[in-house]
Amino acid sequence: MRHFVIAGVLVIAVAILAYMGLNAVHLMPVEASTQSVSIDWMWNLMLMAMSFLFALIAVPMFYSLVVFKRKKGDTTDAKHIEGNTPLEITWTVIPLFVVVIFAYLGAGNLADVVRSTPGAMVVKVTGSQWNWSFQYPDYGGFTSSELYLPVNKAVHLEMTSIDVIHSFWVPEFRVKQDLVPGRVTELQITPTLDGNYKVRCSELCGTGHYKMEQPVVVVDNAKFTAWVADQQAVAAKQQATPEGRGQKIYETFCIACHSIDGSTGIAPTWRGLYDSQVKLSDGSTVTANDEYILNSIKEPASQVVNGFPAMSFKYQAAGITADQLNDILAYIKTLK
């Protein structure tokens, strides 16, 4: 009995120390949403359970190695034990009971996280290789390349992808949701902490997956209202000219791959593209005129630029019309 008491005390002590140690290293980022509070509460319970199970396994094992090791010169056989039915029933029933409790708590926690809030602000999120765009239908439908949100206001995200599966994830908000081509998936968040964060794609989505992240800015209501007014003014100005409309489309769908400053990355730069000589992967050279540029958008794999991979962008899936293709062309012509 003495060994059981000592081992039991050591299990409790090691479990507490393990839990305190894991908490001290700050495994989770700052809580920045209502949903993160519920999720972190559940995570904290799991951390306690993991610490206890670690101690329950490690302490008896090392205690036995130290206390019950064979003494020098002892050649006797150990006591043969066939089994212990009460012990086997105990270590089966108790874990089963614990799992059922965690399942119940997890189901309730999930219900709290996904519960919709009446009157929530709607933001439409579009994922593409390798870019995010955010549309605000409640404020005239303008589109932004950064997710601006008012603090303490429920936000309902309606999300889709125009090419492959992406996954919307802001670590500080905790919640995550896949974006599936041809479907609209939904996510509810309520930011609670002003600050600058990043939305990341947590689903491997191609060669540019590593750079698919964009700003998430949470501000007070006054700053959000001012930002909305600025965005509406910019959108109205851009809509006045073809090149302005083309610039907006570029900022929404094309900026992740094509630069306008002459630098190259995943795809060729648009700076100085129009009327230049472009060498293709088949060894031929073409002039970047209207026909070539429009065809490159419509059929990106038909004329691949030498040194770059074939793009998979589908302009129809992005909702880009024939007139908007001409707007993009007009914008490219201004990038001398």
Give pLDDT tens digits for 123-174: 999 998 888 989 999 998 888 889 999 999 999 999 999 888 999 999 999 9
Mean pLDDT of 105-125: 89
Among 236, 269, 285, which residue terminates a domain?
Answer: 236
If asked whether residues 177 and 229 sit together in one domain, one would say yes
Model pLDDT for residues 55-70, shown as the tens digit of each residue: 999 998 998 888 888 7
Q: Is residue 76 part of a domain?
A: no
**pLDDT reading at 198 higher than 90:** yes
Mean pLDDT of 179-191: 92
If asked whether residues 217 and 263 sit together in one domain, one would say no
How confident is the model at residue 160, as a pLDDT? 92
How confident is the model at residue 329, as a pLDDT? 84
If asked whether residues 138 and 232 sit together in one domain, one would say yes
pTM of the full structure? 0.74
If asked whether residues 53 and 149 sit together in one domain, one would say no
3-class DSSP state of 197:
strand
Q: Is residue 41 part of a domain?
A: yes
If asked whether residues 231 and 129 sit together in one domain, one would say yes
Q: Is residue 317 part of a domain?
A: yes
Nearest CA-CA partner of 310 in 284, 285, 289, 280: 280
Q: What are phi and psi of 33, to 5 degrees?
A: -150, 160
Distance CA(257)–CA(153), nearest Å, equals 33
SS3 content of the chain, % helix, strand, coil (to 5): 45, 20, 35
How confident is the model at residue 176, as a pLDDT? 92
Nearest CA-CA partner of 269 in 278, 280, 258, 253: 258
Domain of residue 23: give its range.
Answer: 2-62+87-114
The number of domains in the chain is: 3
Q: Is residue 97 part of a domain?
A: yes
Top-confidence residue, 15 or 73: 15
Mean pLDDT of the chain: 87
Let me know: does 320 contact 253? Beta carbons within 8 Å.
Answer: yes
How confident is the model at residue 16, as a pLDDT? 94
Distance CA(195)–CA(154), nearest Å, equals 16
Long-range CB pairs of 318-326 (<8 Å, 24+ gap) are 318/126, 318/128, 318/162, 318/253, 320/249, 320/253, 324/245, 324/246, 324/249, 325/294, 325/297, 325/298, 326/242, 326/294
Distance CA(65)–CA(60), nearest Å, equals 8
How confident is the model at residue 71, as a pLDDT? 79
If asked whether residues 107 and 159 sit together in one domain, one would say no
Whose tokens are 């089963």? That residue is 96
Neighbours of 332 (CB within 10 A): 24
Q: Is residue 148 part of a domain?
A: yes
Mean pLDDT of 294-316: 80
Please report, for the domain that includes residue 199, its CATH number. 2.60.40.420
Q: Is residue 73 part of a domain?
A: no
CB-side neighbour CA atoms (13 Å) of 21:
10
If asked whether residues 102 and 125 sit together in one domain, one would say no
If asked whether residues 150 and 211 sit together in one domain, one would say yes
Q: Which amino acid is at 233?
A: A
Neighbours of 282 (CB within 10 A): 8
How confident is the model at residue 26, as a pLDDT? 84
Mean pLDDT of 287-305: 84
If asked whether residues 256 and 283 sit together in one domain, one would say yes
